[in-house]
Structure 1
Amino acid sequence: MPETDAESAGVPAPAPVHPVDESRPLGRVLLFGIQHVLVMAATPISAIFLMSAALHLDSRLTVDLLSAAFVLSGIGSLIQSLGPWKFGPRLPFVMLPGGAPLILFLAIADQHGLRTATGAVILTAAFSFVVLPLFSRLLAYFPALVIGTMIVIVGVNLVKVGAVLVTGRPGGPGFADPTHLLLGLATIGFTVVFYLLFTGVLRQLAVMLGLLAGTALAGVLGRLDLGSASQGGLVSLPQLMPFGSPQFNLLAALPLMIYSLASMAEATGQTVVNAEAVGKEIDRHTAVPKTIRGDALTSLAGGFLGLPLMVTSGENIGIVRVTGVRSRYVTAAAGAVLIVIGFLAPVTRAISVIPSAVIGGTAMVVFAVITVLGVQMLGRSDLDRHSNTFICAVALALGLLPILVPGVYGGFPPNLRILLESGVAVGAFVAAVLNVLFHHIRPGVAARLTTRRTEDAR
């Protein structure tokens, strides 16, 4: 084989660029980034609308908070994807509000007021920075068995969230409306058809094309309300401290601070599964703390803008796996698009008119991929060992209980109930504790007993 000029000059050839770090043409990066935005946009919208309804906020404040949610989601996505200094693992991540942190935020606001709730977010973000060095030392107790179990629970929970967007809440008005079911199932069908028939870039865009086709079908069926998209001004700016100066109450913030430990465990799992999804080897002891720092920094800023905790999202991991586009510059582009959306009020309103059933159909496919990633990780966890099977089974049973049977802990005290109803937190805690008992404590105890029996026999 002939030598290259670099080899003949004694200069080593440059190392190949990993697909995660590979730059792509700007137009294509933006297109793939918009796909991420379309799939995850429902989360900040629904989170802020839920927050507005629960706290009886006026429309102006709701618009301000929605703007802040998009801007902070964008900034967090840029931090996690680009990884400046010690923040962000340089993996294709997006960040979102919502989920358990939102429920905790609403509970604190209901009991102590909005100013105390925003103060609790700021205290929790600072708490994350303080306890991170200790948590980093505990990563050895979160092997693939624990993380895989947690990812399966996360995936099932997210599939349920997507399904509720299609069906509505059981017992609520319009539950299982046939038109909504048709839109959700048709969106899934469109996505499958596009993925089956297309190749190359179009196949990688199957998720977005399926969502757009579902939206078009909604328009044909008369389920697309475009009137609100043309109302209001052109620019929307996040408001600093929209509820007034934060009030700091450690006791009120305690449930959120405890939850942040579970959130760190979830960030650990998502960092590992994200790296596996893109085929990049990482050092967990450096990458995971960078993810958590990115979460904490974004949440700290969000607290001053009236938002609940911001967390890394598993939604985009499913998109990465389905499309095969692994570049972190795509999620960075998604972050830039989210920031623009946050400042452009008409774009925000236009995205908000996509029917929830269409978004739910798309989300169910993407979220189910996350569940499969967890199953794949469990497949490498030596489940032939009875102890591993037992650990996984118990953690799944307790972690899935509040997801499959909502309200099961309704009779418990409010603060304890909030923690128990987070299936991810319960599953991660149970798996980690059982892993320590079976694989760290029990072998040592057994070894000491064997030594003692040997000495007694002598």
Structure 2
Amino acid sequence: MSSPRKNLPGTDQSPTPEPTEPAPTDPAPVHPVDESRPLGRILLFGIQHVLVMAATPISAVFLMSASLGLDPGLTVNLLSAAFVLSGVGSLIQSLGPWKFGPRLPFVMLPGGAPLILFLAIAEQHGLRTATGAVILTAAFCFVILPVFSRLLAYFPALVIGTMIVIVGVNLVKVGAVLVTGSPGSPGFADTTNLALGMATVGFTVAFYLLFTGVLRQLAVMLGLLAGTALAALLGHLDLGHAAEGGLITLPPVMPFGTPQFNLLAALPLMLYSLASMAEATGQTVVNAEAVGKEIDRRTAVPSTIRGDALTSLFGGFFGLPLMVTSGENIGIVRVTGVRSRFVTAAAGTVLIAIGFLAPVTHAISVVPSAVVGGTAMVVFAVITVLGVQMLGRADLDRHTNTFICAVALALGLLPILVPGVYAGFPPSLRILLESGVAVGAFVAAVLNILFHHIRPGVAARLVTSCTEADR
């Protein structure tokens, strides 16, 4: 038997402490983009996004209907499909399943240049070929994406900031046209519409000034509702179509018949998709900037483009033009300070519900365009400011960067400020030149490469050659 241990000098007789469990560490804080909020608030903020952006699918479908002479029943079906696909795309971009969507507060919409190209193809080759062109272009985006991803290194803050400024100016013009109408059209710059647009801006400012908390975050929606109420008081709210149709609308698949695939006819749309990828790059970066989230462009930008392509692929089978990420909601996020991507996911859910509920679709469509335009101008101008902020970090004190930005802005804003400037060019070339965003991005990227990548290398080789010659 072993004897018990004796007390020896210098021996520690205190009992051996039992091992303790490590102190629990606080979980990593949730970024505001990934933060969930009470369902009621998420829905309210989501509805605010919907009210601001609803004019885009409505105007896109009505333009399709008027240009192509579609019957009212088909127009309602396309409007239903536009809302549903806008909602699906918003869910994809906001929630980011697998490699689709950057998990940022994004919404998706039809319209813009892709709609004009869709109409041009439809008028020349028929609607079945136009829908086939959308499907082909969506597939083309998947094929070309790996090549495009390798070029993202040539899109620094200088290039993207310039592009976002052009995007913002272009969108402000779109909002202004909703208020004034197109120059030369009947009723252009009607004083009542101008008053409604300016009053809506004033209401929005007043709510943002006087309210705090949630009500202040809802200032955009409250301003739009107040403008609509004023329009009703002035007798400029047409409710004649609000109660038309049944309760449920189910958008049919292939409303124009089986798509026809013609590569030559689809070429203009496929070329434009390259510009759309560049625009998606800028919007992804500025969206991340607006919500204060660090992203890896090499993964986030391709995810956005995949979301665009997938939604457009679905939309093609429902007779819609290309669906693209929208910059509209970025302005709302910045104005309200609500950064959660679950808000735009809620907006997507509301859009899907609107697409299936005919009375809601008709009710939203009666909001006067002047009121929507007044709201849109404020929201879109915020995007321009975000571009200016990004340019502020692009070291414009360097004369070279100032020169690059100036040239890109001059050429990018030209087709926006002077519509029809390229009317005398061939149609295939005019498609690209009339996209101010594409021109601005291309010029800024090329000049950035010339001045910051090629020129330093050439200068270094010249110095080396001169040194060797002196020896």
Scaled by the length of structure 1, what TM-score is found?
Answer: 0.98
Per-residue deviation, residues 426-450 of structure 1 (Å, max 9, x unmatched): 1111111111111111111111111
- Counterpart of 1:425 (choices 438, 453, 467) is 438
CA distance in 2, matches of 1:121, 1:251: 13
Q: What is residue 114 of structure 2 aligned with on the other side?
A: 101
- Counterpart of 1:262 (choices 254, 258, 275) is 275
| Bigger-Rg structure (1/2) | 2
* Superposition map of 1:408-447 within 5 A: 408-447=421-460
Q: What is residue 310 of structure 1 aligned with on the other side?
A: 323
* Superposition map of 1:197-216 within 5 A: 197-216=210-229
Per-residue deviation, residues 378-405 of structure 1 (Å, max 9, x unmatched): 0000011111111111110011000000
CA distance in 2, matches of 1:370, 1:250: 35
CA distance in 2, matches of 1:138, 1:419: 19
Aligned amino acid, residue 9 of structure 1: P
**In structure 1, the residue corresponding to 2:242 is in which secondary structure?**
helix
CA distance in 1, matches of 2:248, 2:452: 56
Aligned amino acid, residue 456 of structure 1: A
Q: In the alignment, is residue 21 of structure 1 matched against residue 34 of structure 2?
A: yes
Cα displacement (A) at 1:238: 1.1
CA distance in 2, matches of 1:306, 1:139: 32
- Counterpart of 1:45 (choices 38, 58, 68) is 58
CA distance in 2, matches of 1:400, 1:279: 28
Cα displacement (A) at 1:412: 1.0
Q: What is residue 96 of structure 2 aligned with on the other side?
A: 83
**In structure 2, the residue corresponding to 1:260 is in which secondary structure?**
helix
CA distance in 1, matches of 2:414, 2:315: 31
Q: Say if 2:108 and 2:324, in contact at 8 Å, map to a contact too.
A: yes
Q: What is residue 226 of structure 1 aligned with on the other side?
A: 239
Q: In the alignment, is residue 166 of structure 1 matched against residue 166 of structure 2?
A: no
* Superposition map of 1:184-333 within 5 A: 184-333=197-346
Q: Say if 2:83 and 2:351, in contact at 8 Å, map to a contact too.
A: yes
Q: What is residue 79 of structure 2 aligned with on the other side?
A: 66
CA distance in 2, matches of 1:8, 1:447: 61
Per-residue deviation, residues 196-217 of structure 1 (Å, max 9, x unmatched): 0000000000000000000000
Q: What is residue 407 of structure 2 aligned with on the other side?
A: 394
Q: In the alignment, is residue 128 of structure 1 matched against residue 135 of structure 2?
A: no
Cα displacement (A) at 1:12: 2.7
Q: Say if 2:272 and 2:431, in contact at 8 Å, map to a contact too.
A: no
Aligned amino acid, residue 393 of structure 1: A
CA distance in 2, matches of 1:279, 1:349: 37
CA distance in 2, matches of 1:193, 1:12: 45
Aligned amino acid, residue 227 of structure 2: G
**In structure 2, the residue corresponding to 1:232 is in which secondary structure?**
coil
- Counterpart of 1:365 (choices 357, 364, 378) is 378
Aligned amino acid, residue 85 of structure 2: L
Aligned amino acid, residue 61 of structure 2: I
Q: What is residue 3 of structure 1 aligned with on the other side?
A: none
Per-residue deviation, residues 305-333 of structure 1 (Å, max 9, x unmatched): 00000000000000000000000000000
- Counterpart of 1:118 (choices 127, 131, 135) is 131
CA distance in 1, matches of 2:73, 2:454: 56
Per-residue deviation, residues 176-197 of structure 1 (Å, max 9, x unmatched): 1000000000000000000000
CA distance in 1, matches of 2:215, 2:187: 35
Aligned amino acid, residue 362 of structure 1: T
Per-residue deviation, residues 18-52 of structure 1 (Å, max 9, x unmatched): 00000000000000000000000000000010111
Q: In the alignment, is residue 385 of structure 1 matched against residue 422 of structure 2?
A: no
CA distance in 2, matches of 1:79, 1:11: 36
Cα displacement (A) at 1:8: 6.3
Q: What is residue 4 of structure 1 aligned with on the other side?
A: none
CA distance in 1, matches of 2:120, 2:446: 28
Q: In the alignment, is residue 146 of structure 1 matched against residue 159 of structure 2?
A: yes
CA distance in 1, matches of 2:90, 2:120: 27
Cα displacement (A) at 1:416: 1.4
CA distance in 1, matches of 2:29, 2:186: 56
Q: What is residue 17 of structure 2 aligned with on the other side?
A: none
Paired positions, count? 452
Q: In the alignment, is residue 175 of structure 1 matched against residue 195 of structure 2?
A: no
CA distance in 1, matches of 2:323, 2:350: 18
Aligned amino acid, residue 393 of structure 2: R
Q: What is residue 7 of structure 2 aligned with on the other side?
A: none
CA distance in 2, matches of 1:321, 1:184: 21
Query: Identical aligned pairs, as a percentage?
Result: 87
Aligned amino acid, residue 439 of structure 2: V
Q: What is residue 340 of structure 1 aligned with on the other side?
A: 353
Aligned amino acid, residue 221 of structure 1: L
CA distance in 1, matches of 2:411, 2:462: 32
Per-residue deviation, residues 131-170 of structure 1 (Å, max 9, x unmatched): 1111111000000000000000000000000000000111
